[in-house]
Amino acid sequence: MARRPRSEMIVETRAKLVAAARRAFATVGYAAASMDDFTAAAGLTRGALYHHFGDKKGLLEAVIAQIDSEMSVRLSAVSAKAATSWQGFVDECTAYIEMALEPEIQRIVLRDGPAVLGDPWQWPTQSACIRSMTASLEQLIAQGAITAVDPEATARLINGATLHAAQWIAHAEDPIGASKKTVQALNALLDGLRAQAGKSMRTKPPGGRRNPAIKG
């Protein structure tokens, strides 16, 4: 086989471990995932794991960091393609809900992550998404599009609202209906942020579809 430098083997090993762990954590959960099992599935042993990540928690951190960076990329892509800042912000919120509907994100990032690693606000990674939303809000405030609330506090509130709602939607007996209701209610709440001048105008002009995201 091709003689490859050590550095490449290392990143490949790390990637294989993270991938295997990610699969295991997503399917059976962090607690039930046996390190012997999923390292073997990656063609390695626990020795490699402890060498690279210190312990099981360290590996979970790496997995979450990976997922979180993917989320950040997706979020910025969504807000970038929006027509107005406000619409971009709303789209970002709905995109958040959509992502939180994915079982992998729910299980690893939203449930096991906080339980094992402590509050997510501590880990620097999660703050990427928060920072993105905070930046959007700051921009909107500067534009005078919304009332002058604290951007970070608002971002946290909206974040929590979307994440929790997503978990409800995912387990609802009628997920499609639940998501529609949620997006409607979310729009109503977000309208509270809009500057008084625009209060009578809803997120989208009347007649248009309320929100295209969360396709049934």
Exposure of 80 in the CB half-sphere (CA atoms within 13 A): 6
Q: Cβ closer to a copy of itself: 78 or 165?
A: 165
Distance linking the first and last C-alpha atoms of the chain: 49
Apex 29 CA angle, 8 and 34, nearest 5 = 65
Distance CA 205, CA 187 (A): 13
* Min separation Cβ 4 and a copy of itself, Å: 39
- Does 31 participate in binding a copy of itself (rule CB under 8 A)? yes
Residues with Cβ within 8 Å of 136's Cβ and at least 6 positions away in sequence, in order, are: 79, 85, 88, 89, 92
Backbone CA torsion sign across 102, 107, 108, 111: positive
Is position 204 an interface residue for a copy of itself (rule: CB under 8 A)?
Answer: no
Q: Please, what is the minimum distance in Å from the beta carbon of residue 127 to a copy of itself?
A: 11
Is residue 59 within 8 Å of residue 18, measured between CB atoms? Answer: yes
CB 107 within 8 A of CB 26: yes
Using CB under 8 A as the binding rule, whether residue 142 contacts a copy of itself is answered as no
Q: What is the closest distance, in whole angstroms, from the C-beta atom of residue 84 to a copy of itself in the complex?
A: 18
Window contacting a copy of itself (CB under 8 A); options: 18-26, 40-48, 75-83, 112-120: 112-120
Q: Are 129 and 64 in contact (CB under 8 A)?
A: no
**Residue 3 binds which entry of DNA, a copy of itself, none, CB below 5-8 Å type-dependent:** DNA
Complex with DNA: residue 35 or 195, whichever CB lies closer: 35
Backbone angles phi, psi at 206, to 5 degrees: -55, 140
The residue ranges that bind DNA (CB under 7 A) are 3, 5-7, 9-10, 13-14, 33-37, 39, 43-48, 50-52, 55-57
Instruction: Give the integer Cα–Cα distance in Å for 70 and 137.
Output: 21
One of 73, 77, 115, 176 touching a copy of itself (CB under 8 A): 115
Verify binding: residue 34, a copy of itself, rule CB under 8 A. Answer: no
Contacts with a copy of itself, 161-180, as mask; x by CB under 8 A: xxxxx-xx-xx------x--
Contact set with a copy of itself (CB under 8 A): 29-31, 106, 110-112, 114-116, 119-122, 147, 149-150, 152-154, 156-165, 167-168, 170-171, 178, 181-182, 184-186, 188-194, 196, 199-200
